[in-house]
Structure 1
Amino acid sequence: MLTAERHARIVEMVRLRGTVTVPELAAALETSESTIRRDLDKLDQAHQLVKVHGGATTRESAHLTRDLTLGERHGLHDEEKRAVCTRAASLVQPDDFVYLDAGSTTEILLDLLPPTRAGYVTDSVSHAIRLAARGLSVMVLGGELKSATEALVGPGALDALARLHFTLGFWGSNGITPEAGLTTPEPNEAMVKRESMARATRRYVLADASKLGRTSLVTFADFCDATIVTCGDVPEEYRSFDNVTEVSL
């Protein structure tokens, strides 16, 4: 079996099962476990899956227990995210004071925002740089820089938020369920999300449908605390909620 064919079959097995062990892959592909481990290293580096102890898992599953880097999230449901962000950009009015959460979905929103006099505040250093490069008015929170998501967290960020009041805000979420609410893997980032959301009048969570029905480690808001703008394979039960807005590709 050619390497490219073996890699494709590994990715497909992980996609179908969610998590697969090295012995399972070696048996299915009739190759050695050492070969499978080398394959997983290459596929992880290519951001096609996430290598874990003893096997591999999908990026969506890994994203529930840790924040993937922006590079690891590149290409993950980008079409759905762009559709969601196109709707979000249309909500910004000229006089809005807007909070923008860190993350790969809000990163797509940056290029879609209208060139108005609206002001922006973000906990993301990279978001702030890109907004400033577009000539938009932007403030960045203080705090400790979290490398994986390029977000600012900790007392400095919370102190800055305590003095601000937003007319509009956009957040990402790793998991969304009616029971657990809006969830994320990291407690310090959850605190910033919670505080910023509490200070916004109009609140929108931007999430492709893969986040629905999944629960991450820390709840930062209740399910009904924000309007959820989503796109993709939306589970039928979520379509009945008044605060869920589904957009098409």
Structure 2
Amino acid sequence: MIAEERYAHILSEVERDGTVTVAQLAADLGISESTVRRDLEKLDAAHKLAKVHGGATRREDAHVMRDLTISERDGLHADDKRRLAAAAAAMVGPDDFVYIDAGSTTRELVGCLEERGATYVTDSAPHAQSLAARGLTVVLLGGELKAATGAVVGPDAIEALSRYHFTLGFWGANGIDAARGLTTPDREEAEVKRLSIEHTASGRRFVLTDPSKFGRVAPVRFAELADVTVLTTDVPVAYEGMVGIELVS
């Protein structure tokens, strides 16, 4: 099979499934894994897909102009979110004062939390309701409620955050870029994210993300990569070895 035919097959599989593995492609095409890796490197360089450890993922639009609604996020990267949530939940201790950002990945985290000795503060009305329903101690920030994301924003939320100092925190991001940092589409949500990170203990600020967010940029920056630790299930080639990015098995 000539290279162009291999490329067409690989791109078709990525478009259909969203992700492929080197082993799967080698078996499908009857070629060596080293040849598959070279093909993926060429397609990544041509911006046709995003090469990651052990395979490749669909390359999303690099610019994120709006937040997906809660219903639009349901089911996206579900396995990645479950793995990240389990790893994050294991970090919470009985005396922690924990900040939890709004979002679908942190929503998965909320479902895994069991530590009853901790206090949880969130800007997400759905998160707060879920935590309270299970008997956990939760504080919901006051302010304007955004229907699309369930997040609370505005001056009341900012004023409340200014009084708190968290021992541990978890956030989501719409985009993670080496040069432009961590970004989100909404200015008000960005300010809540920024201040909550600032008021969380250094070294215990974790952004939970699936690999699709790397290389993407939304309109508003809320943190630099150096400000946080990024937890992910896979790392695109361009971000391999970068300080502050940790893999979750």
CA distance in 1, matches of 2:245, 2:62: 25
Structure 1 contact 63–174 (Cα < 8 Å) conserved: no
Structure 1 contact 110–130 (Cα < 8 Å) conserved: yes
State the Cα deviation string for residues 199-225 of structure 1 (Å, max 9, x = none): 000200000010011111100001111
CA distance in 2, matches of 1:174, 1:15: 21
Cα gap change, 1:195 to 1:135, in 2 (>3 Å): same
1:203 is aligned to 2:205: yes
Residue 247 of structure 1 aligns with an amino acid whose one-letter code is V
Partner of 2:153: 153
Report how far residue 59 of structure 1 moved: 11
Residue 217 of structure 2 aligns with an amino acid whose one-letter code is T
Partner of 1:244: 245
CA distance in 1, matches of 2:117, 2:63: 35
Aligned residues: 196
1:230 is aligned to 2:239: no
CA distance in 1, matches of 2:166, 2:153: 18
TM, length-normalised to structure 1: 0.74
Report how far residue 90 of structure 1 moved: 1.0
Cα gap change, 1:59 to 1:185, in 2 (>3 Å): farther
CA distance in 2, matches of 1:59, 1:102: 25
Structure 2 contact 175–183 (Cα < 8 Å) conserved: yes
Report how far residue 237 of structure 1 moved: 2.9
Partner of 2:94: 94
Cα gap change, 1:63 to 1:148, in 2 (>3 Å): farther
Cα root mean square deviation, aligned: 2.2
Partner secondary structure for residue 204 of structure 1: strand
CA distance in 2, matches of 1:14, 1:90: 33
Structure 1 contact 182–220 (Cα < 8 Å) conserved: yes
Structure 2 contact 62–217 (Cα < 8 Å) conserved: no
Identity of aligned residues (%): 55
CA distance in 2, matches of 1:152, 1:163: 16
State the Cα deviation string for residues 50-74 of structure 1 (Å, max 9, x = none): xxxxxxxx99549811011110011
Structure 2 contact 63–217 (Cα < 8 Å) conserved: no
Structure 2 contact 116–137 (Cα < 8 Å) conserved: no
CA distance in 2, matches of 1:155, 1:86: 33
Q: Which stretches of structure 1, 4 residues or longer, exceed 6 Å deviation after superposition? A: none
CA distance in 1, matches of 2:13, 2:208: 29
Residue 243 of structure 2 aligns with an amino acid whose one-letter code is D
Gaps of 5+ in 2: 1-11, 19-57
Structure 1 contact 62–68 (Cα < 8 Å) conserved: no
Gaps of 5+ in 1: 1-11, 19-57
Structure 1 contact 229–244 (Cα < 8 Å) conserved: yes
Partner secondary structure for residue 228 of structure 1: strand
Q: 1:212 aligns with which of 202, 214, 234?
A: 214
1:82 is aligned to 2:82: yes
Report how far residue 231 of structure 1 moved: 1.1
